[in-house]
Amino acid sequence: MLSAKIIAHCKKKGWWFEEVTKPYLDVLKELGIATDSPLAEFYLHAEDGPAFYSRKRELYHICWHSINSQYKLDLKRTHELLHISGDYLPLDSFEGSGGIFYNRITGEVAEVTLGKELRSFLLGEFTPQWKNFNEFLEWYFELN
CATH number at residue 20: 3.40.1580.10
CA–CA distance, 111 with 129 (Å, rounded to integer): 7
**Cα 140 → chain centroid:** 11
Mean pLDDT of 79-88: 86
Between 120 and 7, residue with greater pLDDT: 7
The count of structural domains within the chain is 1
Q: Is the pTM of this model over 0.75?
A: yes
Full domain range(s) for residue 69:
4-140
CA–CA distance, 58 with 131 (Å, rounded to integer): 21
Would you say 70 and 90 are in contact if contact means Cβ atoms under 8 Å apart? no
Q: How confident is the model over 92-135, as pLDDT tens digits?
A: 987 767 889 999 999 999 999 888 888 888 888 888 999 999 99
